[in-house]
A and B are shown apart, each in its own frame.
Chain A
Amino acid sequence: MAEVEKIILPGGIIDRPGSTLDYKTGTWRVKKPVVDLNKCTGCLLCWIYCPEPAIRKRDDGKIEFDYDYCKGCGICSVECPTKAIKMEEE
């Protein structure tokens, strides 16, 4: 391993909270969610049901996706009450 020189903390403690950010799970995706902002009411139900989370609130209160991490599961698309999210081929 090239990184072996890196200091390993006692017992392999990880001191970088939230460091899975280093790993882009967006590459797993087969289909990607796309939001129709005209239909989005900003209810955030998609956000509360996203397992990653890979959904952010925009300044206008509507949502956007973080495609670096979205795995394309499609939960948001199924759960959106206004059917604002479509799953599209990558």
Chain B
Amino acid sequence: MSLLQPKTLKPMSTSEAIAYAVKQANVDVIAAYPITPQTIIVERLSEYVNNGELDAEYVAVESEHSAMSACVAASLTGARVFTSTASQGLALMHEVLYVASGLRCPIVMAIANRALSAPINIHCDHSDVMGSRDAGWVHIFVENAQQAYDRIFQAFRLAEDNDILLPVGVNLDGFFLSHAVEGVATISDSEAALFLPPRKAKYYIDSSMPMTFGAFALPDWYFEIKYQVVEAMEKVPKKLAEVEEAYYKMTGRMYGHVGAYRTEDADVCLICAGSAAATAKFSVARMREKGIKAGLLSIRLFRPFPVESILPHVKDAKALIVMDRAMSPGAPSAPIGQDIKTMLYDAGLNIPVANFVYGLGGRDISAAEFESITTKVIEDLKAGRPIERGVKYWGVRI
């Protein structure tokens, strides 16, 4: 029905869109600590709580470590829980992230991706989330304010599903997205309540069923308990698709595990995550006008890595260009490059991959740069030159 209604867009920054969605999601507990560039999210939420627009407890903790600790405990108590962080904050939470997944807490956290010290830098890259990618969290990348708004509802519904019970990180590029204002189509409070009824936890901390959470597991049990996270993670792609289907019926909006643009007949496919996807899309469109057969695949579901959704788009390409906004010093590839190469190897595909690290510490990347990266690869292909393997650092002055 709402498909036919005229859309009125509200101007909002991605941070405000997230805060608004969290309010509509009727969360119970927010425990957070300020850090640039996510602070707007928790400022708005504080306003909602203090103005009585959101009936939640806002726990203004003294560190991100305590933020995630309070979130885990509140989640185990049965509450719907949200927090937000970035950069050093995510790094400080690191050990608690594993507890959140290990104890199966459906927390949703917005991560305004930002570079890690040193040197200190407040701008965007993906070093923070990449450092946490093995912590057992589902990770979603958004590319604009609309996606961020929509994904918050989807993230809660996915996380709180009793088959999943995993924490979800909604990643938005610091400043590029967090502070950028766009028109956002919103759902009504009643639609939100229908899509996301109050959380019904099956097991929670309560004297009516006195259970022990976080026991000491020795080698005879640790492995089996930890393996649950893997089993739950394997169920995510299908479950997220179901959640998206339901959301689509209500809103007409759907994003999928990956965003594909002109991949069907592409000779070379660009692969990236986050706000750069929009720039790359613009670049691909321009290249196509010039007859360059480029395509774009943006990673929207990053953990679990959606191999099944990626493969059909890239299997016929002659080369792939993986753009990573984080380093993995000393590793044979940067983080997304590693995943893509592993995926190709498992699929028995020997497609050459050019892996670039770009844009660290908030350095912008333009459509022209995507084009020059792509045309160089295409020229190499045409000339029969091998694609340079390993990791290259795009634009670094050396």
A residues touching B (Cβ–Cβ < 8 Å)? 1, 4, 8-15, 17
Contact = CB atoms under 8 A, between A and B. Distances in A.
A18 B225 CA distance: 21
Interface in B38-90: none
29 contacts: A1-B220, A1-B221, A1-B224, A4-B224, A8-B225, A8-B228, A9-B203, A10-B104, A10-B202, A10-B203, A10-B228, A11-B104, A11-B165, A11-B213, A11-B214, A12-B102, A12-B217, A12-B221, A12-B225, A13-B211, A13-B212, A13-B213, A14-B211, A14-B212, A14-B215, A15-B203, A15-B211, A17-B210, A17-B212
Interface string B216-239: 010011001100100000000000
Interface of B is mostly: loop
A11 B224 contact: no
Interface of A is mostly: loop
Given A10-B228, A15-B203, 17 more contacts: A4-B224, A8-B228, A9-B203, A10-B165, A10-B202, A11-B102, A11-B105, A11-B213, A11-B214, A11-B225, A11-B228, A12-B215, A12-B225, A12-B228, A14-B211, A14-B212, A17-B211
B273 interface: no
Interface in B151-190: 165
A75 B387 CA distance: 76
B142 interface: no
A12 to B, nearest CB: 4
B209 interface: yes
A14 B238 CA distance: 29
Contacts of B225: 8, 11-12
A13 B224 contact: no
Nearest to A12: B225
Interchain residue pairs A-B with the least CB separation, the first 9: A12-B225, A14-B212, A11-B103, A10-B104, A11-B104, A17-B210, A15-B211, A13-B211, A14-B215
B70 to A, nearest CB: 17
A10 B75 CA distance: 13
